[in-house]
Amino acid sequence: MTTVNISGISTSQLLDDYRLSLEAMNRSKKTIAWYLEILDKYFTFLSLNSLLKPIDQMGSQELKAYILYLQNVHRWANCQHIRKITGKLSPHSIQGHVRAIKAFWSWLKKEGYIANNALALFPLPRAPDKPMNVFSLEQIRKLLTCIDRLTPRGVKYYTIILLLLDTGIRISELVHLKLEDLDLPHNCLRVMGKGQKHRVVPVSYLTRREITRYLTNIRPGLCSFQSPYLFPTPMGTPISINSVQQALRRLAKTAGLKGIRCSPHTFRHTFATLSIVRGANLFVLKEILGHSSLVTTMRYSHLQPEDIQVQHSKFSPVAFTFGMNLPETT
């Protein structure tokens, strides 16, 4: 990014100050890197197109120009290590860029770098609703059945899948689970979530049984070092997110799953959706998933029409009062 002096403060200094502010708010390293990468791209675009002005003079016109650019740029266009360039950025990705830029401008106003936030009322670009598919019970059975539980690797990933499906925890939370986080006598885990917040997550008896089997028979042979992690590598470090993602993709191919992405996040959505179908309290589910807002919890559930019909039959005043026998009209 070209460093430009804006009202006595360079863009690089502004981003450094923003990074420190995000760190002080306990934002994750991944989140901070995401914000800074987007802002770096934004200021670079403005500089290359002679649109960069003093920060208090920039607003909607510059952002509109950037959105038009994003709508036509190809994914991975500037990535040297990726040869295949296909498709354009999705509306959701573009919306994410605008969110990050608007958040930065709000911070500039809060910190006194600008007197007025010119982007406060700037609308987010519309993005179509894109509900994530969830696993059917049959797909879950196929996935678990294709795992060879006579091998150490099979037992490990059988346990991982049960944990993801039974608790709805994030993959980043799962890979960093430590032995001290287990409270198996009370059927629960202590999870470190976003913002360094701890929460207690219950586990079922069946999942506890598989964790115990894994701890007793498999884990001692996985790592020759003293490791605090539940799922360690041979060197004692936590298993990587990428390794779990790849393993799940291979298992899905072996199981012959079609039309659904077999990812850790799909298990999280499946847990949320099936929990609601079975009558879970949304407030309890919010705490289990580690959401800061009930709105987020509701977005995680993707009920099918037949599920909605079943639930409607339980709370409909007509169905509850009359059942199948409506009074005859005269």
Q: Residue by residue, what is the 3-state secondary structure of 150-163?
A: CCHHHHHHHHHHHH
97 among known catalytic residues: no
Among 27, 41, 156, 170, the one annotated catalytic: 170
Burial class (CB in 10 A: 0-12, 13-18, 19+), 67: middle
Query: What size, in residues, is the chain?
Result: 330
Cα 212 to chain centroid distance, Å, stands at 28
265 is known as an active-site residue: yes
Q: Which of 209, 249, 265, 299 is catalytic?
A: 265
Distance, CA of 254 to CA of 30 (rounded, Å)? 32
Active site annotation includes 249: no
Catalytic option among 41, 97, 208, 268: 268
Burial class (CB within 10 angstroms; exposed 0-12, middle 13-18, buried 19+) of 321: exposed
Of 194, 209, 249, 299, the catalytic one is 194
Of 19, 56, 11, 17, whose CA–CA distance to 36 is shortest?
A: 19
CA dihedral 22, 27, 29, 34 (to 10 degrees): -70
CA 159 – CA 139 distance, rounded (Å) = 17
Active site residue 269: no
8 A C-beta contact, residue 167 and residue 280: no
Catalytic residues: 170, 194, 265, 268, 291, 300
